[in-house]
Amino acid sequence: MQKPGRYLGLSLAAGLILSMIITKQVGNGFAVAVAVMGISLLVGLLFEYYKYMRKK
């Protein structure tokens, strides 16, 4: 069985890349970048819950 945290890491990496792109496009989009990182963290936690916690 794989360790939990795989989807969390993938979604955070995707959120980091997306927030960097948005910040570059918008210019002063720090709040948008933080919001994107927060949403990606929540999506990663949701994937982890459905993948590992529902099996028990």
pTM over 0.85? The answer is no
Task: Band the pLDDT of 56: cuts 50, 70, 90.
Answer: low
Average pLDDT over residues 9-14: 78
Structure tokens at 38: 């927060």
Q: How far is CA 13 from CA 7, 19, 38, 44, 55, in A?
A: 10, 10, 12, 10, 26
What is the pLDDT at residue 51? Answer: 76
Q: Where are the domains of the chain?
A: 6-53
What is the pLDDT at residue 41? Answer: 80
- pLDDT tens track for 26-48: 776 777 778 888 888 888 788 77
